[in-house]
């Protein structure tokens, strides 16, 4: 490759882990075209904004980011250079034409299902053509992806996309399209490659990952449990996780897998959204609060140390104080190790956007604070209960302080440990010494510390 061919690519990513994954795959696709990733927009040859549409002001945020970044493009072009600016992801999918009209500075607009077509799009953009690509192509992008990936010890692997569930508040079925599962063979092959590249942990990704139903070459349909079972057979893969799951797809096989497959980590993100049956119904979640409690109990029966995290929406239209209290009670009953919680925001085009019995903003804020305080207290309790225990830690990177490494416990807690850099990428026994609301501190367990504690 000549020096001229070295081009700088800056990708800014919002949204869920699917988007994080997509961004790294876009970088993989663009690498053979001479682009290598950089950490900032200065002097970039291409900027991609990989956007999320899930909550309000998503589009506004994108426009103000475009406004901020435009000066880099202007500077570059004043020097006779060229910069391609692109909007990708779910805002591009939902608002492609609007962005095209409103932001003449944008050269490429493309949705989440099209990034395997990036080389063609770049070619057009280089020919000064503006590109909009928001189709849902018949051919899967997964079959057209390079396999090269520099993913580190904790890798992500996208196995399923899209959603057919149509919760009344949610844009995902519209931005990501219908549910689609990759073939088990292609997933296992990618897992082998990730393992060969040093991955010790693989997190299987999908908007509805436990709805996974991939068709194998022999025509048999594999569920997520079967897929995890096969993946666990790869020696170098020591830890397996999956996200995001839906309570409705938590079938018996998958529950059993949590008991049988030791490599499946004891942390599960299982969004519930609300603890009120009335609200769950209005959300079209198709499960009750008690059904959720039962699933949690069944999972704990087979894997007693399993910890849970969840997603909550407060202030959905029609939510009363009692409905909110039902949510608080569910949290007290289940006990979560963490959660994402949001104030409901109406998304254009979704059924809930037409609902009229809206909850006041100040009420939403108060409910959110109350809920977050309870979850934070539960998380702190859990973290504190770990002090003094020995836990396995996968070290992922250098920590913020000198000499420290950062990693995750099996329960997905962040942990900082004084340790030699050569332990990055390794799974190491660590004694937990301190706990705060957000993270743990630990010491590598050595023969000396074993003697000390004996």
Residues 346-365 that bind ligand SAH (CB under 6 A): 347
Decide if residue 166 touches ligand SF4 (CB under 6 A): yes
Cβ closest to ligand SAH, residue 151 vs residue 341 = 341
Cβ closest to ligand F3S, residue 89 vs residue 247 = 89
Distance CA 280, CA 258 (A): 26
Other beta carbons within 10 angstroms of residue 234's beta carbon come to 18
The alpha carbon of residue 436 and the mean position of all alpha carbons in its chain are separated, in whole angstroms, by: 24
List the single partner that 275 binds among ligand SF4, ligand SAH, ligand F3S, none, CB under 5 to 8 Å by kind.
Answer: none
Total number of residues binding ligand SF4 (CB under 6 A)? 10
Q: What angle do CA 353, 354, 360 make, to 5 degrees?
A: 70
Q: 353: helix, coil or strand? A: helix
**Would you give the binding string for ligand SF4 spanning residues 229-248, x where CB under 6 A is met?**
-----------------x--
- DSSP-derived letter for residue 440 is E
User: Looking at the DSSP assignment, which residues form a beta bridge with residue 153?
Assistant: none
The alpha carbon of residue 310 and the mean position of all alpha carbons in its chain are separated, in whole angstroms, by: 13
Which residues bind to ligand F3S, rule: CB under 6 A?
A: 15-16, 18-19, 52-54, 89-90, 171-172, 175-176, 207
Give min distance, CB of 396 to ligand F3S, in A.
22
Q: What tokens does 185 get?
A: 């063979």
Cβ closest to ligand F3S, residue 16 vs residue 99 = 16
Give min distance, CB of 110 to ligand F3S, in A.
14
- Packing angle of the helix pair 289-302, 252-260 (nearest 10 deg): 30
Residue from 73, 165, 324, 445 that binds ligand SF4 (CB under 6 A)?
165
Distance CA 343, CA 366 (A): 10
Q: 183: helix, coil or strand? A: coil
Other beta carbons within 10 angstroms of residue 261's beta carbon come to 16
Residue from 30, 86, 122, 163 that binds ligand SF4 (CB under 6 A)?
163
Residue from 197, 342, 363, 372 that binds ligand SAH (CB under 6 A)?
342
User: Looking at the DSSP assignment, which residues form a beta bridge with residue 161?
Assistant: 180
Residues 72-131 that bind ligand SAH (CB under 6 A): none
Decide if residue 167 touches ligand SF4 (CB under 6 A): yes
Q: Which residue is it, tokens 């599960």?
A: 268
Give min distance, CB of 245 to ligand SAH, in A.
8
Residue from 181, 203, 207, 338 that binds ligand SF4 (CB under 6 A)?
207
Cβ closest to ligand SF4, residue 207 vs residue 416 = 207
Give min distance, CB of 383 to ligand SF4, in A.
28
Residue from 121, 172, 280, 313 that binds ligand SF4 (CB under 6 A)?
172
Total number of residues binding ligand SAH (CB under 6 A)? 17
Cβ closest to ligand F3S, residue 258 vs residue 347 = 347
Residue from 173, 214, 266, 399 that binds ligand SF4 (CB under 6 A)?
173
The alpha carbon of residue 250 and the mean position of all alpha carbons in its chain are separated, in whole angstroms, by: 19
Q: Which residue is it, tokens 């007290």?
A: 332
The answer to whether residues 84 and 125 touch, using CB atoms and an 8 Å cutoff, is yes
Q: 297: helix, coil or strand? A: helix
Residues 6+ apart with CB under 8 A from 425: 152, 153, 198, 200, 395, 396
Q: Among the candidate windows 166-174, 224-232, 325-333, 369-377, which touches ligand SAH by CB under 6 A? A: 166-174
Q: Among the candidate windows 22-30, 227-235, 344-352, 420-428, which touches ligand SAH by CB under 6 A? A: 344-352
Helix (H) or strand (E) holding 313: strand 307-314
Distance CA 19, CA 236 (A): 26
The binding site for ligand SF4 (CB under 6 A) comprises 163, 165-167, 170, 172-173, 207-208, 246
């Amino acid at each position: 490759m000549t020096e001229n061919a070295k081009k700088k690519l800056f990708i800014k990513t919002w949204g869920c882990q699917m988007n994080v994954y997509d961004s790294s795959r876009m970088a993989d696709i663009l690498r053979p075209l001479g682009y290598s990733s950089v950490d900032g927009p200065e002097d970039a040859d291409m900027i991609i904004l990989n956007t999320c549409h899930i909550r309000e002001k998503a589009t506004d945020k994108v426009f103000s980011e475009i406004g901020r970044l435009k000066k880099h493009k202007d500077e570059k072009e004043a020097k006779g250079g060229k910069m391609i600016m692109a909007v990708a992801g779910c805002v591009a999918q939902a608002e492609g034409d609007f962005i095209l009209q409103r932001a003449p500075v944008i050269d490429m607009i493309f949705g989440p299902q099209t990034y395997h077509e990036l080389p063609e799009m770049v070619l057009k953009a280089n020919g000064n053509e503006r590109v909009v690509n928001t189709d849902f192509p018949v051919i899967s992008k997964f079959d057209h992806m390079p396999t090269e990936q520099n993913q580190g010890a904790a890798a992500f692997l996208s196995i399923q996309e899209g959603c057919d569930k149509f919760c009344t508040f949610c844009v995902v079925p519209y931005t990501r399209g219908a549910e689609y599962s990759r073939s088990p063979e292609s997933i296992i092959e990618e897992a082998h490659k990730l393992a060969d590249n040093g991955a010790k942990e693989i997190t299987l990704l999908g908007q509805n990952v436990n709805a996974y139903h991939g068709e194998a070459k022999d025509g048999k349909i594999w569920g997520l449990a079967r897929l995890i079972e096969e993946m666990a057979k790869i020696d170098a893969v020591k830890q397996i996780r999956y996200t995001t799951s839906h309570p409705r797809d938590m079938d018996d096989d998958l529950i059993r897998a949590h008991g049988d497959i030791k490599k499946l980590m004891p942390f599960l993100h299982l969004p519930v959204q609300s603890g009120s049956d009335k609200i769950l119904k209005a959300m079209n979640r198709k499960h009750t609060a008690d059904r959720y409690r039962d699933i949690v109990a069944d999972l704990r029966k087979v894997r007693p140390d399993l910890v849970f995290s969840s997603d909550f929406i407060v202030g959905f239209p029609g939510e009363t104080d009692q409905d909110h209290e039902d949510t608080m009670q569910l949290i007290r009953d289940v006990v979560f190790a963490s959660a994402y919680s949001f104030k409901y925001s109406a998304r254009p085009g979704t059924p809930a956007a037409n609902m009229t019995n809206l909850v006041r903003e100040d009420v939403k804020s108060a409910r959110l604070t109350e809920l977050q305080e309870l979850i934070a207290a539960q998380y702190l309790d859990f973290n504190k209960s770990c002090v003094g225990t020995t836990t396995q830690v996968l070290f992922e990177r250098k920590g913020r302080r000198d000499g420290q490494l950062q990693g995750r416990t099996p329960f997905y807690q962040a942990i900082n440990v004084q340790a030699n850099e050569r332990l990055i990428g390794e799974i190491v026994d660590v004694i937990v010494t301190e706990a705060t609301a957000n993270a743990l501190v630990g010491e590598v367990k050595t023969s000396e510390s074993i003697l000390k504690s004996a």
